[in-house]
Amino acid sequence: MSVAERLRAKTPTRRWVGLGASAVVWFALYQVNRPFWDWLIGGAFGLDLDSRLGSGLHFFFYDSVKIALLLIGIIFLITVLRSFMSVERTRALLGGKREGVGNVMASGLGVVTPFCSCSAVPAFIGFVAAGVPLGVTMSFLIASPLVNEIAIALIFGLFGIGPTLLYVGAGLVIAIVAGFVLGRLKLERWVEPFVFETRLGGQVIDSTFGLTWDDRIQMGIEEVTNILKKIWPYLLVGIGVGAGIHGWAPEDFFTQYAGEGNPFAVLIAVLIGIPLYSNAAGILPLVDALHDKGLPMGTLLAFMMAVVALSLPEMILLRRVLKPQLIATFIGVVAVGIVGVGYLFNAVLG
Amino acid sequence: MIIKVLGPGCANCVNLEKVTREVVAELGVAATIEKVTDYGAIAGYGVMRTPALVVDEALVLSGRVPTAAQVRDILEPLGSGS
């Protein structure tokens, strides 16, 4: 019997006991992770944990395991919670909402609705053709990748609850304001005309209708496997580069160029981040290493947001429904929002 | 029976097509399987989350890759009816 089959509980008791046992194993692994690598690298191999090689290796192994554990736990939880929401329900909730209230709701729903950027185009058509205002739709499409479960897992694990809440709050504010601004600009003429002509036919199927707890848990396990399969190369490269910075980069190298002394640091970080295509898993180990080297949190969060919220592949997808002028405006408005948040964080946390 | 697999060509859509083909072969129903990749057409069926499955122009599944058993549950009653 495969692991997956064994995990598929047959009775409610077995299901909850299995889930509880998994949680206990997860906590135990999370607790022994640091002592284990301290012992193996510092004790068994006799490396000095303050030396370059020692600290680099320790960072690499300890962070890989810690990040993998956090991703498994948090993606599972979020997927199970999100299985109570669906894009169809979100659209129904947004139908007939005015701008303003609509933008706030769309941003919040963008965070909690299960959604992948590969569905951005059909969702866009589905929203707009059903009469959801363009700016409200944009709020949803901005919030969804900007505030994502991978980033939440990693920021929480690496920096704690404070920066996580700041990140979620900032992402929501950017999505609300950017969507509202885009709506005010009346850019409907820059949407490909076929979107408004699309007839929504057929009955709507709510993809989460009739799910049992076993289905939801199964979806959680599948989502964890899928995401880990997809992001592990990014993650390893990110942690590898992070370990390199950790062990080898001179202490004041980054602060000299991108520290508090440089007023353009946030702006430059965002401009570099926009064309870069990675995901939160590849960026955050880097952010962690740079933070250790003394770079301010606002600059780093702005960099990460620019990387995950605005990417070339997503823009190419959206080009199917949006004209280049609207894509450019979209990038501009979101980038300005991210830069603003970066400076605000640096001022508040500084 | 005309079965349409809706999706722009992502990994999920390929998986759904594979599962569907397997089930159709297993049930032995006469069915043609087509792929719909045009976004306008996909949205026209009311789908906002790919992949999706349409049987004889009626949307039967959207938003996730089902197991073979789930596809069989959907296709079996439809197949015997026609």
pLDDT at A10: 60
A161 pLDDT higher than 50: yes
Question: Which range, of A221-230, A318-327, B65-74, averages the lowest pLDDT?
Answer: B65-74
From chain B, the residues in CB contact with A198 under 8 A are 40, 43-44
A185 pLDDT higher than 50: yes
Distance from CA of A201 to the nearest CA of B (A): 5
B45 pLDDT higher than 90: no
Question: Does B43 lie at the interface with A, CB-CB under 8 angstroms?
Answer: yes
What pTM value is reported for the model?
Answer: 0.83
More confident residue, A228 or A255: A228
| Per-residue b or e along A26-58, where b marks 16 or more CB atoms closer than 10 Å to that residue's CB | eeeeeeebeeebeeebeeeeebeeeeeebbbbb
Secondary structure letter of residue A310 according to DSSP? S
* A318-333 per-position pLDDT tens digit: 898 999 999 999 999 9
Q: What is the mean pLDDT of residues A175-189?
A: 93
Average pLDDT across chain B, whole number: 83
Q: Tokens at residue A100, please?
A: 């303003």
A276 pLDDT higher than 90: no
Q: What is the mean pLDDT of residues A269-296?
A: 84
A32 pLDDT higher than 80: yes
Residue in A88, A133, A85, A94 with CA at minimum distance from that of residue A112: A85
pLDDT at B60: 85
CB contact under 8 A, B43 and A87: no
CB contact under 8 A, B40 and A198: yes
B11 pLDDT higher than 80: no
**A207 → closest Cβ in B8, B40, B64:** B64
Question: Which range, of A24-28, A72-76, A241-245, averages the lowest pLDDT?
Answer: A241-245
Average pLDDT across chain A, whole number: 85
pLDDT at A350: 62
pLDDT at A202: 62
A208 and A87 in contact (C-beta within 8 Å)?
no
More confident residue, A247 or B27: B27
Residues in chain A: 350
Name all domains of chain B by residue range, CATH numbers in brackets: 2-81 (3.40.30.10)
Interstrand relation of B32-36 and B2-6 (parallel, antiparallel or unpaired): parallel
As a whole-number percent, the residues of chain A with pLDDT over 70 amount to 93
Q: What is the mean pLDDT of residues A27-39?
A: 90
pLDDT at A324: 93
A1 pLDDT higher than 50: no
Confidence class for position A179, pLDDT limits 50, 70, 90: very high
Q: Residue B53's closest chain A neighbor by CA?
A: A205
SS3 content of chain B, % helix, strand, coil (to 5): 45, 25, 30
A79 and A40 in contact (C-beta within 8 Å)?
no
| Per-residue b or e along A110-125, where b marks 16 or more CB atoms closer than 10 Å to that residue's CB | bbbbbbebbbbbbbbb
A117 and A314 in contact (C-beta within 8 Å)?
yes
Q: Residue A113's closest chain B neighbor by CA?
A: B49
A8 pLDDT higher than 60: no
ipTM of the predicted structure?
0.79
pLDDT at B82: 46
pLDDT at A162: 87
From chain A, the residues in CB contact with B54 under 8 A are 202
pLDDT at A204: 67
Q: Tokens at residue A252, please?
A: 């004041």
Token pair 């199964």 is at which residue? A218
CB contact under 8 A, A86 and B49: yes
CB contact under 8 A, B40 and A194: yes
A253 pLDDT higher than 80: no
Select the residue from B49, B50, B55 to test the A interface by mutation, using most A Cβ atoms within 10 A. Answer: B49
Question: Does B58 lie at the interface with A, CB-CB under 8 angstroms?
Answer: yes
| Per-residue b or e along A82-93, where b marks 16 or more CB atoms closer than 10 Å to that residue's CB | bbebbbbbbbeb
A336 pLDDT higher than 90: yes
B40 pLDDT higher than 70: yes
CB contact under 8 A, A198 and B8: no
A9 pLDDT higher than 80: no
**Count of beta carbons in the 10 Å neighbourhood of residue A241:** 14
- Angle (nearest 5°) at CA A285 between A349 and A276: 90
More confident residue, A177 or A250: A177
